[in-house]
Chains A and B, each alone.
Chain A
């Protein structure tokens, strides 16, 4: 089956760095995704990893270790607008299905 775990909620300070972890167990694997979702809005794509290593995109970076079933999203120079839920998702390699974690609600405080 599929199991994706991420912390329910985190709090960080404006200007700081925060790391949001995601662990997964899937029967097949064809990529890990991170999405940002502000309250009441649609998810927006942040990053995609399919090979081990770090992908950097501006203030956001995402890391993947396939052998450990582990990923993290790193947010640097936090801004108040980064307060949102961050969704970790895995694409099943066999059937192209997507499985989402429950999301991590990030609260950025001044």
Chain B
């Protein structure tokens, strides 16, 4: 158990819908990262937040957005969902923005039908 929690564990929805994935970092960690892992594209870095502010942006689609709240939990919002958005979404946390080791949560499996 890494100490990072993600909810929900599984999510099944339809195309065109919007969902919110939630992540609580390890106690004391200020930085949160979001990743998407699909079978055909491997692990893709989406975005990083540090202490409430966006720190780095990867291949995140415009239909996706994220934020980190004052209590440091983070949410990833996915809208206008497409079949290709079906994937495992991981959240990771680290103590600071440049820390080497990231601790990954168990992931949220999103299925878009």
Query: Interface on A for B, CB 8 Å cutoff?
Result: 31, 33, 41-45, 48, 87, 89, 95-103
Main secondary structure of the interface of B (DSSP, over half): strand
Contact B56 A96 (CB under 8 A): yes
Chain B: interface size category: 20 to 34
Residues of B contacting A45 with CB < 8 Å? 100-103
Contact A97 B57 (CB under 8 A): yes
Q: How far is the CA of A101 from the CA of B57 in the complex (A)?
A: 18
Q: Which of A41, A97, A103 contacts B45 (CB 8 A)?
A: A97
Q: How far is the CA of A110 from the CA of B20 in the complex (A)?
A: 44
Contact B44 A100 (CB under 8 A): yes
Contact B107 A42 (CB under 8 A): yes
Contact B101 A43 (CB under 8 A): no
Contact B104 A100 (CB under 8 A): no
Contact A98 B45 (CB under 8 A): yes
Complex interface bits, B57-80 against A, C-beta within 8 A gives 1, otherwise 0: 110000000000000000000000
User: Does chain A have a CB within 8 A of B42?
Assistant: yes
Residues of B contacting A43 with CB < 8 Å? 43, 90, 104
Contact B42 A96 (CB under 8 A): no
Residues of A contacting B102 with CB < 8 Å? 45
User: Does chain A have a CB within 8 A of B52?
Assistant: no
Contact A42 B90 (CB under 8 A): yes
